A and B are shown apart, each in its own frame.
Chain A
């Protein structure tokens, strides 16, 4: 097995899903790769000057611009005839779903040959767990706290992969750190297909989701087995593959192990909220044919 291109010694929390995702992505991409990242957990845990965990060239500029930075790298490499180099953006969901979406839209629109990877932990975890456009229904975050007047987040999770598909991005996929073979295959496929690609990786956050640190992979598996997070891939706008779910689990199995959903099991109306989440999972199962 090759040495990981993401070196140990980084400052990510024990049990964090993000570095697991990064290692798998870099395993698939290999050393002939350049990575651009925004400000966020990945940046602050991997590059405290003068140290770095990156064994591939890596650049961080700002929170909302890695897609633009990568666009510039791509055309510079084109000018120098170095189109053999894999070019990745690796960004969190705050940068991807919210503040950087204009830059991403531009990158998709112009058709740059870049694979954009979002490690999705469903909130602004680097700043203490505030709600992002990726935060799912009823999750308690530090800016959608539960209270007498609030059952947590009341906005649906933005469908970022659908936005990527709508841009005509030739490759769009979702993946999970609990399915490493599937994840690596998708990264490789994205790099084989010319043009912009978007891969969204579910990556549990131990502090923001509030669970026991040994449960990261178990949770990443449960979110798929409940059909809350369907794993699929689109090529040229067509759904070409889904990860089948053999034993569909009730969403309670996923929700009950996390502090961010704890209130759903004791507040008034909690059963209805859980039923709403179950309905989302059921719709996913039907829409993507996860159970066939």
Chain B
């Protein structure tokens, strides 16, 4: 790494990145104080797409709030719905049939791959390479077709229900997924040769955007950002939920703390998700997809409930405070990118602006999820 640059606070100018900037992938505004090409400090300004999802959770019934969860992170909507139904099931004590849990895991993992593929394409595009986006979207299309066939939607699935799932999966889904696994494995090899080993990518990412483990802890960063800094934390392993206990998979951890490490974590995670899908398909039990006994009106008993799930971008938590009413008294959504974003200011100081945008891409930001 080059020697730290001595920046002068008295000769800076302000540079606005966003709220409409292609590199922020949404309406995020970053107010950068620049000393020439170097960033003196960067203030992130949020709120351009704030939709009061938490408040909506408090003035709607539990079932009515369910579609909202897919609108937080529209790229991995499945995991968010999963977290919410798990939280409500925990609160109400609803038993979920095993088959339903397997279907949930299958869809969540497929969705995780599709989310990482969007990130992969968009991230390389941020760095100036357009071609990989086309490859990634081609493979993502296969996942979207599989999920559309079973859920009826391509992005905002709203497929999980309290107690189970909306529809049972059919043979098309199983055959499609079975055909997709070898296809994706082949595609991952192509990505490795096309992008991962590319000298330009390495020069742009290696030793750029250092995020130490200590910084991750201070800001509460989770997911691939933390795992790229050597923190072995994944909610699926650390606080197992659903049926994740029954699968054999690894959590990729890299200790380099740079943008390349975060890139590698996500590329490896796709392979691990494929492993989970493979095992889930092999073990898929027969049975109902909805419990026989389920309360008609969801009214959790008075109390405080929390459930975290591993979404594509990190740990997503839901806290429901119930006063025994049809509506929640308090609905707190803890979204991963909100925490991941806030280390940007500290980490990007003294960085070249071109590197800072590459670093921002490696954090994998989804703005609607940050603002909620």
Q: Do A and B bind each other?
A: no
